[in-house]
Structure 1
Amino acid sequence: MNINATLIAQLIVFLILVWFTMKYVWPPIAKVLDERAAKIAESLAAAERSKNDFEQAEKKVAELLADGRNQVADMVANAEKRAAKIVEDAKSQASTEAARITAQAKADAEQEMNRAREALREQVAVLAVKGAESILRSEVDVSKHAALLSTLKQEL
């Protein structure tokens, strides 16, 4: 056998092997590789979508937190305003009540002074009558002297 015939036979067998491999073995391997590449690409796309969804969720959470903080700040400000208003109302009510009590006390004092003056006039009138009676030592006309005493009361 010649090296050339062996080499040609080996070349024919190799070409048949290459043809058989290209026809029956390579397409399923290429198909599996393509499917795997598609799954990897799909997984990468899903990971990218998940990353975008996560970033959007983080943004939404940040917005919700900011809104919550703003609402809490507004509620605190409203509560402070309400408390200040309540304090102011209480102060105005207290000053109104103090003015009313002071006016009532002044009115009561004025009434007591008037009663005391009236009682003092009565006592002065009685004393004046007794003094006049003792000076005159004569008959006293009650109706005439009553008119005199009322005039005396008015003057006092």
Structure 2
Amino acid sequence: MSINATLIVQMIVFAILVWFTMKYVWPPITAALDERAKKIADGLSAADKAKADLAAANARVEQQLAAARDDAQKRLADAERLAQQMVEEAKTRANDEGAKIVAAARAEAEQEAVKAREALREQVAGLAVKGAEAILKREVNPAVHADLLNRLKTEL
């Protein structure tokens, strides 16, 4: 055979091989490549969506943390204000109670002083009567001279 005929036969065999490959081999390969490209694109879009979701979740977390901090500060301020108010109320009650105790002690001291004055007047009156009795050397009747003794008590 001649070189030309061999070349033509090889071209025909090559054309049959190209046709067979294009008809039976190439479509499954392109389908597999297209499917792989689609999976990669879906994965990339899912990754982008996940990044966006993560950023949104981080923003929500930051907002919730800020709200929790504000709430904690408000509660702390309320607790401090309540504690200060309780301290002030306790001081006021203590001052009132102290004033009551001082007033009661003053009243009691005043009563004791009055009692002591009365007892002292009685003793002075008795001593005066004894002194007058000793001077007069006779018995002085306290019942008869009660008015005189009462005047003496008031003068003392």
Per the alignment, do residues 102 and 130 of structure 1 end up closer, same or farther by CA in structure 2, a change over 3 Å counting?
A: same
Structure 1 stretches of at least 4 aligned residues deviating more than 4 Å after TM superposition: none
Contact kept, 8 Å, 2:129 with 2:140, in 1: the verdict is no
Work out whether 1:66 is the aligned partner of 2:66.
yes
Matches within 5 A, 1:78-93: 78-93=78-93
Question: Which residue number in structure 1 is paired with residue 33 of structure 2?
Answer: 33
Q: 1:25 to 1:139 in 2, by over 3 A?
A: closer
Q: CA deviation at 1:138?
A: 4.3
Aligned residue runs from structure 1 range 75-154, under 5 A: 75-138=75-138, 140-154=140-154
Aligned position for 1:18: 18
**Aligned length, in residue pairs:** 156
- Aligned pairs for 1:50-65 (under 5 A) are 50-65=50-65
**TM-score of the aligned structures, taking structure 1 as reference length:** 0.88
On the 8 A contact 2:122/2:153 being kept in 1, the answer is yes
SS in structure 2 of the partner of residue 144 of structure 1: coil
Structure 2 unmatched ranges of 5 or more = none
Q: CA RMSD in A?
A: 1.8
Query: Share of identical aligned residues, percent?
Result: 58
Q: Indicate the residue corresponding to 2:49 in structure 1.
A: 49
Task: Give the whole-Å Cα distance in 2 for the aligned partners of 1:72 and 1:66.
Answer: 10
Structure with the greater relative contact order (CA < 8 A, sep ≥ 6): 1 or 2? Answer: 1
* 5+ long unaligned stretches in structure 1: none
The 1-side partners of 2:21 and 2:140 are apart by 164
Distance 2:144 2:136 in 1: 14
